[in-house]
């Protein structure tokens, strides 16, 4: 989900121009396999997805040697522009794409279309051709179209558009070399661009704009701002005001649609329904069925979580054991260091780092690929569609359900995922409430404490614990909806319009999905977490080992926090652990254990229940720990991401205040109830 | 004359008129102009939106937006044969 290295690189200029470098832009509708094509051609790591607006900041990469035309010397750089439906609406992505195409920074523009949905795709293609004739058309997903019985006549497209047209399939590599040599041809000028415009407007409009720079004149008539307002254009604007209001703008906007319809009717033969097959239709009828939608959706998410939790248990233990041994070796290797430096680095920093990695890596390595599989198959768009009704009532948007689900994996990933939401207001709401979904760093606490709460209960212990877990997530969802509603009222702007494309179901490419999701998301999130875990491990070790008077600093802090902790129905140690867990949620529990046992470094979790009950844990402590875990301020990684995504310290601050305040309030309530009834 | 939001799954219609407001260009870029054939594919299970087949692509629109688009219904005898009509009747029983 856009969680790629280019986030950090986006400040750099899009394409560094050097004499032997040719820049080629990739443009197209969302969901046409554009990013996938980009990845195949450049080998760059960038995630591809099956829903709108995946690429927000343009990414660039060099074309691999093997796709370069033989007679080509120098380098080809591809710039992957954001996927848009049009260039005329002034959304940030559209402006970015339009300005890049207009600027002439690219010597050629490859317009990528989905062969299964060519007619709609041609609308954008024609708009681009109006801006620049140095373009070529890439009809992608040819293999899928053939499977669906759709025939695309490339020669007819060439005839109509007068530009090179190449059919490709990114997954099989079909046509990619031809595409690159045609692109290089257009860029070098050896393939001459068409001289006439791609389509004509009605005579009365053509008359108005004759003699003027075409692109600018049309922009003026369509009611947009041209790149430069000249006196001639000013006069044109005046002249157009004679016609009935909206008439000219409407004609101009709808003209490409009609032209696209004509071209598609010449070039495409498809069964009725086009790319949307009878199979898709049947499947959609089941998935969006009023009675089946919710159970199916829950089943799917439950399946993902079950696989994640069950599947990661064993690898986590294995990794833990491996790291223990590794730590032992490193400890012996470091015997040249002074004793406390060695302790601090190995038992403090390294152990925390290892702990975080062994807890986080296996679930993420399972969760993210599963998630990506669902995403690539087209199922996620249906989930967004199904949940829009509920979410729009709470000022949200259907796509928020996806970012929430992503938040269950990692809140930082969920926050970045909010980019798929078009409307700024709804995006902000989704970002600020994402943290109510407990991420898998918080899962261990929830699971352990749920188990402790149900320890020795009459019911089956694991069933009861699972029930408590479910209640925790349900509480998170309820808080998300409630806060979204309140934030919606507070922000008080109109709900945006909602447009969501339901792409045809696709068989996900499993190999690619696993590689991409592990490279892009898992390692990215892990690296960020590790970067904070290591230094914080050192700080915590220092706190636990620097002694003031007769106790460690940590003991002093937790002692000082005791009254506050008690008021919240917790104790000083747990409160201290919750606060110190800011860098990484997964260290909260080991931290608490370390403080209870007065240890000087993070230990294992053996005998956890005994330790906790011996330290006066009551059912209330358990419940409030659960509450404070669900209603928790975002971890440092997430907070940084929120600040980056919203571009504002205020919202980042609010994202801390909202859950913390809610958590404290809830804890006060449960504590009061507990005391009144003297449970 | 009815509105796009009035269509039930399985019903098809021709677009008559799009709203005069600013959301117009957003509809046009999806290919929604006068004369375009649209088919309602599915209602969102918890209301608020429907999915429409427009020029070979399925796009979901909220009813608040679809309520501004005038359409002319096409009698859906052809789709009846495929069982969509029956499915529609079942929704109200």
Chain A stretch 56-95, residues whose beta carbon is closer than 8 A to a beta carbon of chain B: 85-86, 88-89
Predicted local confidence at residue A6, as pLDDT: 37
SS3 content of chain A, % helix, strand, coil (to 5): 65, 5, 30
The string of pLDDT tens digits covering residues A643-666 is 888 888 999 999 999 999 999 999
Q: Is A638 exposed, middle or buried (0-12, 13-18, 19+ CB in 10 A)?
A: buried
Contact status, residue A14 vs residue A106, Cβ threshold 8 Å = no
> What band does A459 get if pLDDT is binned at 50, 70 and 90?
low
User: A176-190, A467-481, A525-539, A574-588: which has the minimum mean pLDDT?
Assistant: A525-539
> What band does A523 get if pLDDT is binned at 50, 70 and 90?
confident
B74 forms bridges with which residues in the sheet?
B12
Mean pLDDT of chain A: 83
Contacts across the A-B interface (CB distance below 8 Å): 137
The domain segmentation of chain A, as residue ranges, is 6-188, 203-275, 293-434+447-494+507-676
Pick the more confident residue, A256 or A73.
A256
Among candidates A85, A270, A393 on the partner chain, residue whose Cβ is nearest the Cβ of B30: A85
Predicted local confidence at residue A366, as pLDDT: 85
CATH class for the domain made up of A6-188:
alpha beta
Segment A383-411 shows an average pLDDT of 87
Predicted local confidence at residue A221, as pLDDT: 85
Q: Does the structure show a pLDDT above 90 at A272?
A: no
Predicted local confidence at residue B64, as pLDDT: 85
**B66 vs B49: CA distance, rounded Å:** 8
Distance to chain A for B37, nearest Cα, Å: 11
B38 forms bridges with which residues in the sheet?
B13, B54
Predicted local confidence at residue A666, as pLDDT: 95
> What band does A461 get if pLDDT is binned at 50, 70 and 90?
low
> What band does A497 get if pLDDT is binned at 50, 70 and 90?
low
Segment A593-609 shows an average pLDDT of 72
Q: Does the structure show a pLDDT above 90 at A136?
A: yes
Predicted local confidence at residue B83, as pLDDT: 42
* Token pair in block for residue A105: 């920074």
* Token pair in block for residue A463: 């069933």
What percent of chain A has a predicted confidence (pLDDT) above 90? Answer: 25
Predicted local confidence at residue A644, as pLDDT: 83
Q: B58 vs A501: CB contact, 8 Å cut-off? A: yes
Predicted local confidence at residue A325, as pLDDT: 92
In this complex, is the C-beta atom of B48 within 8 Å of any C-beta atom belonging to chain A?
A: yes
Segment B82-87 shows an average pLDDT of 42
A232 Cβ neighbours under 8 A, 6+ residues apart: A212
The string of pLDDT tens digits covering residues A143-199 is 888 988 899 999 999 999 999 999 998 778 889 999 999 999 999 889 888 888 889
Predicted local confidence at residue A3, as pLDDT: 34
The domain segmentation of chain B, as residue ranges, is 2-90
Q: B51 vs A398: CB contact, 8 Å cut-off? A: no
Segment A532-558 shows an average pLDDT of 86
Q: Which one is the CATH code of B2-90: 3.40.50.720, 2.30.30.90, 1.10.1380.10, 3.90.79.10?
A: 2.30.30.90
Q: Does the structure show a pLDDT above 80 at A611?
A: yes
Contact status, residue A186 vs residue A175, Cβ threshold 8 Å = no
**A521 vs A494: CA distance, rounded Å:** 34
Chain A stretch 596-625, residues whose beta carbon is closer than 8 A to a beta carbon of chain B: none
**A502 vs A497: CA distance, rounded Å:** 16
CA A391 to chain centre: 19
Residues of chain B contacting residue A388, judged by C-beta atoms under 8 Å apart: 44, 46, 48-49, 60, 62
Q: Pick the closest to residue A536 from A295, A387, A329, A350 (CA basis).
A: A350
Taking each helix axis from N to C terminus, what angle separates A636-646 and A649-676, rounded to the nearest 10 degrees?
130
- Radius of gyration of the CA atoms of chain A, in A: 29
Predicted local confidence at residue A155, as pLDDT: 96
Pick the more confident residue, A549 or A262.
A262
Q: A388 vs B48: CB contact, 8 Å cut-off? A: yes
**A274 vs A260: CA distance, rounded Å:** 15
Highest mean pLDDT among A242-251, A270-279, A315-324: A315-324
Predicted local confidence at residue B89, as pLDDT: 41
In this complex, is the C-beta atom of B46 within 8 Å of any C-beta atom belonging to chain A?
A: yes
Predicted local confidence at residue A367, as pLDDT: 81
Q: Does the structure show a pLDDT above 50 at A474?
A: yes
């Amino acid at each position: 989900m856009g969680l790629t290295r280019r986030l950090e690189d986006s400040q750099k200029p899009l394409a560094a121009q050097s004499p032997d470098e040719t820049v080629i832009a990739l443009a197209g509708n969302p969901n046409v396999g554009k990013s996938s094509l980009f990845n195949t051609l450049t080998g760059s790591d960038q995630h591809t997805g099956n829903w709108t607006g995946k690429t927000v900041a343009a990414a660039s990469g060099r074309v691999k040697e093997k796709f370069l035309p033989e007679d080509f010397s120098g380098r080809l750089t591809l710039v992957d522009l954001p996927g848009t439906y049009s260039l005329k609406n002034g959304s940030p992505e559209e402006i970015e794409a339009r300005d890049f195409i207009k600027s002439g920074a690219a010597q050629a523009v490859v317009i990528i279309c989905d062969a299964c949905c060519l007619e709609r795709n041609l609308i954008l293609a024609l708009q681009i051709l109006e801006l620049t004739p140095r373009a070529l058309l890439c009809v992608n997903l040819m293999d899928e179209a053939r499977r669906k019985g759709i025939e695309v006549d490339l020669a007819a497209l060439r005839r109509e558009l007068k530009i090179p047209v190449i059919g490709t399939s990114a997954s099989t590599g079909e046509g990619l070399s031809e595409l690159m040599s045609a692109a290089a041809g257009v860029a070098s000028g050896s393939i001459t661009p068409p001289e006439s415009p791609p389509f004509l407007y009605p005579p009365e409009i053509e008359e108005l704009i004759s003699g003027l720079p075409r692109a600018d004149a049309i922009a003026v008539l369509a009611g947009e701002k041209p790149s430069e307002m000249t006196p001639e254009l000013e006069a044109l604007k005046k002249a157009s005001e004679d016609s009935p209001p909206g008439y000219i703008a409407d004609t101009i906007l709808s003209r490409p649609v009609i032209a696209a319809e004509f071209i598609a009717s010449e070039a495409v033969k498809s069964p009725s329904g086009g790319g949307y097959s009878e199979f898709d239709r049947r499947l959609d009828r089941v998935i969006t069925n009023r009675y089946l939608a919710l159970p199916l959706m829950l089943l799917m998410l439950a399946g993902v979580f079950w696989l994640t939790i069950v599947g990661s248990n064993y690898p986590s233990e294995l990794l833990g054991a491996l790291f223990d041994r590794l730590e032992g070796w490193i400890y012996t290797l470091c015997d040249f260091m002074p004793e406390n430096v060695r302790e601090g680095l190995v038992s403090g920093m390294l152990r925390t780092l290892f702990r975080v990695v062994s807890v986080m890596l296996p679930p993420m390595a399972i969760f993210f690929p599963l998630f990506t599989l669902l995403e690539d198959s087209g199922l996620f768009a249906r989930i967004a569609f199904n949940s829009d009704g509920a979410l729009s009532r709470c000022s949200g948007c259907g796509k928020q359900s996806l970012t929430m689900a992503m938040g269950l994996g990692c809140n930082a990933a969920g926050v970045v995922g909010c980019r798929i939401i078009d409307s700024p207001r709804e995006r902000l709401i989704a970002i600020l409430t994402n943290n109510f979904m407990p991420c898998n760093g918080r899962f261990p606490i929830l699971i352990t404490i749920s188990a402790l709460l149900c320890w020795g209960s009459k019911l089956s212990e694991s069933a009861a614990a699972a029930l408590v877990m479910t209640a925790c997530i349900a509480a998170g969802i309820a808080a998300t909806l409630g806060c979204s509603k309140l934030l919606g009222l507070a922000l008080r702007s109109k709900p945006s319009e909602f447009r969501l494309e339901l792409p045809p179901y696709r068989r996900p490419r499993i190999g690619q999905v696993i590689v991409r999701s592990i490279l892009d998301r898992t390692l990215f999130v892990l690296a960020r977490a590790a970067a904070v875990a290591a230094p914080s491990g050192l700080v915590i070790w220092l706190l636990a080992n620097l002694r003031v008077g007769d106790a460690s600093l940590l003991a002093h802090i937790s002692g000082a926090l005791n009254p506050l902790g008690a008021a919240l129905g917790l104790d000083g140690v747990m409160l201290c652990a919750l606060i110190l867990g800011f860098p990484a949620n997964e260290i909260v529990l080991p931290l608490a254990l370390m403080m209870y046992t007065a240890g000087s470094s993070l230990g294992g979790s053996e005998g956890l229940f005994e330790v906790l009950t011996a330290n006066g844990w009551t059912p209330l402590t358990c419940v409030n720990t659960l509450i404070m875990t669900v209603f928790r301020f975002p971890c440092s990684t997430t907070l940084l991401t929120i600040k980056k995504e919203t571009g504002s310290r205020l919202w980042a601050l609010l994202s801390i205040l909202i859950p913390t305040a809610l958590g404290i309030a809830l804890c006060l309530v449960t504590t009061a109830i507990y005391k009144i009834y003297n449970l | 004359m009815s509105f796009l939001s009035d269509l039930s799954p399985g019903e098809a219609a021709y677009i008559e008129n799009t709203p005069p407001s600013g959301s117009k260009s957003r509809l046009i870029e999806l290919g929604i102009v006068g004369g375009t054939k649209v088919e309602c594919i599915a209602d969102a299970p918890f209301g608020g939106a429907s999915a429409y087949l427009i020029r070979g692509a399925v796009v979901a629109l909220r009813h608040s937006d679809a309520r501004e688009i005038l359409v002319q219904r096409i009698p859906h005898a052809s789709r009846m044969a495929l069982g969509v009509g029956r499915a529609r009747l079942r929704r109200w029983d």
